[in-house]
């Protein structure tokens, strides 16, 4: 807990404004909602929106998952801020008219919620999240499950880059040998050559190439970077890295 300086008139409380993407809303009490928001100014924060679930509340409709809002927040002594006001910057309305997009967006928001630490702002992460939702709200529905949509995977891979968790993929992570690389170990730090592969798991064909292409190409080209046959393999690599470094297993990554 943060120390409150003695003699401080406002008891250490502070108001601030920030753009933020709503990651999750949870019903709280009679009419309140508790939000998880990824803000530009403070990173991921929790905030309570009092009265947000009253039918007359203007706040409630604005504070839906996936919406980019401009928030006025008041930080108290506890962990949770209070929402004083909110205006919509972008609704990402396209997400709500197509079930596939909404489920894909749900995977992105879950990754952000579970993979990003609280109170650690990152401009590149904020921009990546907004850009992903912009693109997803216009994305075509695909045959493959939404959790392996190229934009969902592109977001996750670029998040690893921003977070400094990118595995080594061009050479063996253990001995430095070049291709062929046939295994993968998040613990060892990346792909493995045939001699070192026993320490890891098999590397699925096309996964390494697609992963590297998602790193190197803009998010708008994610579908070209990650062909459908490589998507499950990329998802698996992302999952292994998240589990190794953050101890996170995504609910949305449970095979269907």
Cis peptide bond upstream of 180, omega within 30:
yes
The nearest distance, CB 243 to Zn ion, in angstroms, is: 22
For 223, the token pair is 């579908």
Q: How far apart are the C-alpha atoms of 24 and 49, rounded to whole Å? A: 12
The nearest distance, CB 187 to Zn ion, in angstroms, is: 14
Closest CA to 159 of 112, 223, 224: 112
The nearest distance, CB 174 to Zn ion, in angstroms, is: 5
For 10, the token pair is 């406002």
The nearest distance, CB 255 to Zn ion, in angstroms, is: 29
The nearest distance, CB 183 to Zn ion, in angstroms, is: 9
Which residue bears the tokens 């803009």? 218
Pairing of strands 81-90, 68-75: antiparallel
Q: Residue 254 has what DSSP assignment? A: S
The nearest distance, CB 202 to Zn ion, in angstroms, is: 15
Q: Which is nearer to Zn ion, 86 or 172 (CB)?
A: 172
Q: Which is nearer to Zn ion, 182 or 231 (CB)?
A: 182
The H-or-E segment that residue 83 falls in is: strand 81-90
The nearest distance, CB 168 to Zn ion, in angstroms, is: 11
Q: How many CB atoms lie within 10 A of CB 183?
A: 22
Which residue bears the tokens 């292409």? 213
Q: Which is nearer to Zn ion, 113 or 212 (CB)?
A: 212
Q: Which is nearer to Zn ion, 4 or 175 (CB)?
A: 175
For 36, the token pair is 């998880």
Q: Which is nearer to Zn ion, 128 or 191 (CB)?
A: 191
Closest CA to 72 of 96, 37, 98, 101: 37
The H-or-E segment that residue 62 falls in is: helix 58-62
Closest CA to 172 of 155, 188, 158, 152: 188
Q: Which is nearer to Zn ion, 26 or 175 (CB)?
A: 175
In angstroms, what CA-CA distances link 194 with 164, 169, 174, 256? 26, 14, 11, 31
Q: Which is nearer to Zn ion, 78 or 176 (CB)?
A: 176
Binding footprint of Zn ion on the chain (CB under 5 A): 172, 174-175, 177, 193, 196
């Amino acid at each position: 807990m943060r120390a409150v300086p003695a003699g401080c008139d406002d008891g250490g409380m502070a108001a601030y404004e920030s753009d933020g993407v709503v990651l999750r809303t949870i019903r709280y009490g009679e009419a309140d909602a508790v939000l998880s928001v990824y803000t530009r100014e403070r990173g991921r924060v929790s905030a309570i929106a009092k009265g947000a679930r009253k039918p007359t509340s203007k706040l409630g409709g604005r504070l839906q998952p996936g919406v980019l809002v401009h928030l006025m927040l008041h930080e108290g002594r506890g962990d949770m801020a209070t929402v004083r006001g909110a205006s919509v910057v972008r609704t990402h309305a396209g997400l709500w008219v197509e079930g596939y997009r909404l489920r894909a967006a749900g995977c992105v928001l879950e990754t952000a919620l579970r993979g990003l630490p609280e109170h650690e702002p990152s401009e590149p992460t904020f921009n990546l999240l907004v850009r992903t939702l912009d693109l997803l709200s216009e994305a075509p529905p695909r045959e493959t499950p939404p959790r392996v949509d190229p934009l969902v995977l592109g977001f996750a891979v670029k998040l690893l880059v921003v977070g400094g968790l990118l595995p080594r993929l061009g050479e063996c992570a253990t001995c430095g040998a070049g291709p062929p690389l046939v295994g993968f170990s998040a613990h060892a730090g990346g792909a493995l050559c045939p001699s070192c592969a026993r320490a890891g798991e098999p590397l699925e064909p096309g996964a390494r190439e697609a992963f590297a292409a998602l790193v190197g190409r803009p998010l708008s080209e994610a579908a070209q970077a990650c062909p459908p046959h490589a998507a499950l393999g990329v998802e698996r690599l992302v999952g292994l890295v998240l589990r190794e470094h953050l101890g996170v297993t995504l609910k949305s990554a449970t095979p269907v």
